[in-house]
Amino acid sequence: MEALIFDTTFLIDFQRERQRGKGAAHSFLEAHAESIAYLPVTAYGEFAEGFVNRIDPALVTMVESFELLPVTINVANAYAKISRLLRSKGLLIGANDLWIAATALEKNHPLVTRNTIDFSRIPELELRSY
């Protein structure tokens, strides 16, 4: 069974589509309905920032669909490695994106994102766009 890790951009797009009508995020999920959906805790934090109340039904419902992945020592080591590499090349991306990418690399699962420009800087990170 395929496992996928989702970025914050996906959550935001999916939430907007829930309000405005189905689009690319919904289509991606429908096409990958049998996949295991993972969410890095960093992406959860970024998404939750948009809600005043942490028990907001829209937030709770969204996050219930995913298995949360914590930051572990292995994720932190992956973060350090990719951060050092990108910094040395002058290609550093945002810290939260580094943590999300490190989680995907450590788990060895593709990252689902609309932000392929930044994430494509990271060697060996498999990306899925929608």
pLDDT per residue over 79-107, tens digit each? 999 999 999 999 999 999 999 999 999 99
User: What mean pLDDT do residues 59-76 have?
Assistant: 94
What CA–CA distance (Å, rounded) separates 107 from 17?
A: 28
Structural domains of the chain ordered from first start: 3-128 (3.40.50.1010)
What CA–CA distance (Å, rounded) separates 28 from 112?
A: 9
Residue 58 binned pLDDT confidence (cut-offs 50, 70, 90): confident
User: What mean pLDDT do residues 28-42 have?
Assistant: 97
Q: What is the percentage of the chain residues whose pLDDT exceeds 70? A: 100
Position 62 pLDDT exceeds 90: no
- pTM for the model stands at 0.93
